Amino acid sequence: PDLYQAPDYYNIDDLLSEEHKLIRDSAREWVKRDVSPIIEDYAQRAEFPKQIINGLAEIGAFGPYIPEEFGGAGLDQISYGLIMQEIERGDSGVRSTASVQSSLVMYPIFTYGNEEQRKKYLPKLASGEWMGSFGLTEPNHGSNPGGMETNFKDKGDHYLLNGAKMWISNAPFCDVAVVWAKNEEGRIHGLIVERGMEGFSTPETHNKWSLRASATGELIFDNVKVPKENLLPNKSGLGAPLGCLDSARYGISWGAIGAAMDCYDTALRYAKEREQFGKPIAQFQLQQKKLAEMITEITKAQLLAWRLGTLKNEGKATSAQISMAKRNNVEMALKVAREARQMLGGMGISGDYSIMRHMMNLESVVTYEGTHDIHLLITGLDITGLNGFK
């Protein structure tokens, strides 16, 4: 039996509404039933379990905060966070698929798109009939996306798109890609590229030791003719893709807590059962130190995410506040996973437990959506007014 207990040391449940708890619990049940039993096998085989797409749509993971009129779940930001937390309790790669679909594909179409684009794409993305990807990172431009080389030219009745994106989640199977490219004046715009357009290919990236249950690939544009109606008209400049990242980074700040909770819960149960020197290892002070520090850090991260969610609901969260939560909570989860792995001794490296998979996944999470160091520099700039990037 799955004895999973969600740590809630500071009664944070009391801060949630009944609706929040229902949404959280249905996501939790679904992960328990449809994700946890199969995910290790898919991760070992480096394959994304496509059969869970319907379930993700059903728990509201595709566009939780997109209005119902466009197929979204019409929920608030705390609900979005709770759904991400529960999914990442299962696997960071599955949460990645949901993050990309919601915050990096549906969000820009909803926020920067026109009515026709919203009607054409959002309902199909919300139901999972179409899957999306988000192309910002390039081979030569990761932390510095403003340097991107991918570009498009106005050819009268269409745009001609050239360039390449790499490290793109969902790329190998996406039906649509929101792609960021420069026009002839060097201004960044978002274009919706559809599978089947001539010159558009999405080769898969292999040999990953992390996020193995998530499909990662390239987006290659070789003279792709993109219809003019596929340009997102309502925002341009680097701020447009960065606005999407704000939403995804917020979701990750919750998601990482889910991975940490799962590692902590597994280590706690193991330590109470595993005996060495005639005692449960949980009785040894060194093991108690690990567990006590884990629950302390998880609790702080929960409070940070919850407060950020309430600020987001009020439209008051700043990008720098989101960076702080993404950075803190992912690093917290990575440390919890590393300590939990040690607590299981040899068993800690086995796929019979989820910890090593979480630990390896979190190496991607601490890198994507702005690296750990980039988020520190964002905080540094915010508090000093001095730019440490360049």
User: Among all residues, which ones are annotated catalytic?
Assistant: 369
Q: Which token pair is 278?
A: 């005639």
Backbone angles phi, psi at 12, to 5 degrees: -70, -20
d(CA 213, CA 75): 27
CB of 12 to ligand FAD, least distance (A): 29
Q: Interface with ligand TGC includes 99 (CB under 6 A)? A: yes
Cα angle, residue 193 at apex, residues 191 and 195 outer, rounded to 5°: 175
Pairing of strands 188-194, 176-182: antiparallel
Q: Interface with ligand FAD includes 169 (CB under 6 A)? A: yes
Q: Interface with ligand TGC includes 245 (CB under 6 A)? A: yes
Q: Interface with ligand FAD includes 368 (CB under 6 A)? A: yes
The contact pattern for ligand FAD, residues 189-228, with x = CB under 6 A and - = no contact, is ----------------------x----x------------
CB of 15 to ligand TGC, least distance (A): 26
d(CA 4, CA 19): 21
Q: Interface with ligand FAD includes 364 (CB under 6 A)? A: yes
d(CA 322, CA 385): 17
Q: Interface with ligand FAD includes 143 (CB under 6 A)? A: yes
Q: Which of 37, 67, 139, 146 binds ligand TGC (CB under 6 A)?
A: 146
Q: Which of 243, 269, 363, 372 binds ligand TGC (CB under 6 A)?
A: 243
For the stretch 377-382, contacts whose Cβ atoms lie closer than 8 Å and that sit 24 or more positions apart, written own/partner, are 378/319, 378/320, 378/323, 379/320, 379/323, 379/324, 379/327, 381/320, 382/318, 382/320
Which part of the chain contacts ligand FAD (CB under 6 A), choosing from 17-25, 113-121, 133-141, 297-305? 133-141
DSSP 325-352: HHHHHHHHHHHHHHHHHHHTGGGGGSTT
User: Which residues contact ligand TGC (rule: CB under 6 A)?
Assistant: 96, 99-100, 134, 136-137, 143, 145-146, 169, 237-239, 242-243, 245-246, 248, 319, 368-370, 374, 378, 389
User: Which residues contact ligand FAD (rule: CB under 6 A)?
Assistant: 100, 134-137, 142-143, 167-169, 211, 216, 364, 367-369, 371, 373-374, 377, 389
